[in-house]
Amino acid sequence: MMTQSPHRPKTRSSRIVSLIALLCLGAPAVTSAQPVRSSAVALSAEDSALVAKASAYLQSLGQARGRFVQTDPFGTKSRGDLYLKRPGKMRFAYDPPLGLLVVSDGFNVSIADSRLKTFDRYPLGTTPLALLLAREIRLDRGVIIDRVTRNADGFAITARDGRKEAEGRIVLAFSSNPVALKSWAVTDAQGQTTRIDLEQFSPVSGLDRALFVLVDPRSLAPGSAKTRR
């Protein structure tokens, strides 16, 4: 795990890691033995229709790529390239000089920081990415929907884990015509929010599987056997 340091580069990188590692809103599939509410309050027919549209859109995303702008709780912005291949796979490649890669291979989320020479790995099911990368996306299952709000050109869905009500929330923002994911924001139990805004995010095909493989560089050190997935 990462060590603490008073230097700003390490602190800044730790903020990014906290987004992936600590805000555990994405939960494993809920079984009939683990019932949860689908909403905190009864949704109107119009709100339910928007939730259904959002679910259908996310389910339809097979492969996509674009740019992202991340704003951390302190207002610091970081940019990079985003690649998605459902189910399970996503890659955040942060622009220099940050030197950070965040990759989900379908099982784990790996975080490599070339500047700090660190490597961390977390189960996908304990990160917010699990909500977006599930094989079957159903916003009416496994999460509590607190509200659906509308604006001039879209709508937003505020949700939280159905079994961890005190551990934060996620807001997914969509455009209306056509329905498309525009951003998401994660707020932790301390009220700190990290936001991801998407730019030029659109479906593609033929993404290289190597984009979604991130090997611990320690396994490639001299004297270690090189491994490939």
Per-residue tokens: 67? 């740019």
Q: Is residue 197 part of a domain?
A: yes
Q: Distance between CA atoms of 151 and 137, rounded to whole angstroms?
A: 24
The total number of structural domains in the chain stands at 1
Q: Is residue 86 part of a domain?
A: yes
Q: Distance between CA atoms of 93 and 82, rounded to whole angstroms?
A: 6
Q: Is residue 207 part of a domain?
A: no
Supply the range of the domain harboring residue 59: 8-201
Q: Is residue 122 part of a domain?
A: yes
Q: Distance between CA atoms of 29 and 124, rounded to whole angstroms?
A: 12
Q: pLDDT band at residue 2, thresholds of 50, 70 and 90?
A: very low
Between residues 190 and 29, the one the model is more confident about: 190
Q: Is residue 22 part of a domain?
A: yes
Q: Give the residue-averaged pLDDT of 17-25.
A: 41
Check which CATH number belongs to the domain holding 77 and give it: 2.50.20.10
Q: Give the residue-averaged pLDDT of 211-227.
A: 69
Max CA distance (Å), the chain: 62
Q: Is residue 105 part of a domain?
A: yes
Q: Distance between CA atoms of 128 and 170, rounded to whole angstroms?
A: 8
Q: What tens digit of pLDDT does each residue of 83-112 get? A: 999 999 999 999 998 888 999 999 998 988
Q: What tens digit of pLDDT does each residue of 127-143 get? A: 777 777 888 877 766 67
Q: What tens digit of pLDDT does each residue of 147-171 get? A: 999 998 999 999 876 665 446 788 9
pLDDT at 12 over 60: no
Identify whether the C-beta of residue 115 lies closer than 8 Å to the C-beta of residue 95: no
Which segment of 13-17, 28-32, 106-110 scores lowest on mean pLDDT?
Answer: 28-32
Q: Is residue 172 part of a domain?
A: yes
